A = this chain, B = another copy of it.
Amino acid sequence: MTRSKSRKVPDITSPWEPFEDRRRARDIKREAVLRVAVHLFLEQGYDRTSLNEVAERLNITKPALYNYFANKEEILVECYSLGQELSEGALTRMREQDGDGLFRLRGLIRGHALTMAQDFGQCLVRIDDRVLSPEARREVRAGKRLIDAGFRAFISEGIADGSIRPCDVKLTAFAIAGALNWIGHWIQPDGDRSPEQIADEMALRLTEGIANTA
């Protein structure tokens, strides 16, 4: 192969590159596992997806998975984490941006809607976290509450700054979150609306009733 050649060069310039390479290869493989796993979890449910199936799709054997994850639960937890990051990213971004409450709320709606268009995002609302151990569940739920708190905060903010009409904050937040989470259940990769279109429309539709346009 070309291996003997390609090895010599990095050896001189950076003796650690092989390690880097390995680390990177490892991360790539971990990600591959997660992508396959979340896909199957969404397709068949967590309990009905055996590690054998996950491994088979990766052309490895079941025990090989244990090189990357301690157990099946850890795989799910990391899937949740990746989904959570998507939504939290939008929350953080909007928090750091200038604009009134309504503007920020709409941004968060868009971000959360886009999250629901991706596998890792969908797993947040479609894989029941009751399969997790108490500790893991607690962590996952903490993440979910964070997003919920974001919705409420922006709504309250909007009411305070006048961009949003007074309303029941908690219920409104639930209504919005519910409509968005539901996207994860009906959206189709090849549907006639793109995720961005859905996100934009939701941002408007879900704030129509509370936006102060006077």
List residues of chain A with CB under 8 Å of any chain B CB: 1, 11, 43-45, 47-48, 126, 128, 130-131, 167-168, 171-172, 174-183, 185-186, 193, 198, 201-202, 205-210
B183 touches A179 (CB 8 A): no
Chain B residues near A175: list those with CB within 8 A: 179, 182, 202, 205-206
Name the one of B131, B181, B198 contacting A171, with C-beta atoms under 8 angstroms: B198
Mostly, the A contact residues are helix
Complex interface: chain B residues within 8 A of A209 (CB)? 205-210
A182: min CB distance to chain B, Å: 3
16 new A-B pairs (CB below 8 Å) besides A177-B182, A178-B180?
A1-B11, A44-B130, A45-B131, A126-B128, A167-B205, A168-B205, A171-B201, A174-B179, A175-B179, A175-B206, A178-B182, A178-B185, A206-B209, A207-B209, A208-B208, A209-B209
**Bound state CA distance, A4 and B66, in angstroms?**
24
Copies in the complex: 4
Bound state CA distance, A120 and B176, in angstroms?
Answer: 24
Whole-angstrom distance between the Cβ of A178 and the nearest chain B Cβ: 3
Q: A174 touching B201 by the CB < 8 A rule?
A: no
Alpha-carbon separation in the docked complex, A202 to B209 (Å): 12
Is B178 touching A43 in the complex (CB atoms < 8 A)? no
CA A171 to CA B208, docked complex, whole Å: 14
Instruction: Please give, as numbers and ranges, the residues of chain B lying within 8 Å of A198 by CB-CB distance.
Output: 171
Query: How far is A18 from B47 in the complex, measured between Cα atoms in Å?
Result: 36
Q: Which of B45, B168, B208 contacts A47 (CB 8 A)?
A: B45
* Closest partner residue, chain B, to A47 (CB atom): B47
CB distance from A64 to the nearest CB of B (A): 16
For the complex formed, measure the closest distance between the CB of A82 and the CB atoms of chain B, giving whole angstroms: 20
Q: CB-CB < 8 A to A178: which residues of B?
A: 178-183, 185
**Which one of A128, A131, A185, A186 has the highest number of Cβ atoms from chain B below 10 Å of its Cβ?**
A128
Which of A45, A182, A186 has the most chain B CB atoms inside 10 A of its CB? A182
| Interchain CA distance A200-B130 in the complex, whole Å | 30
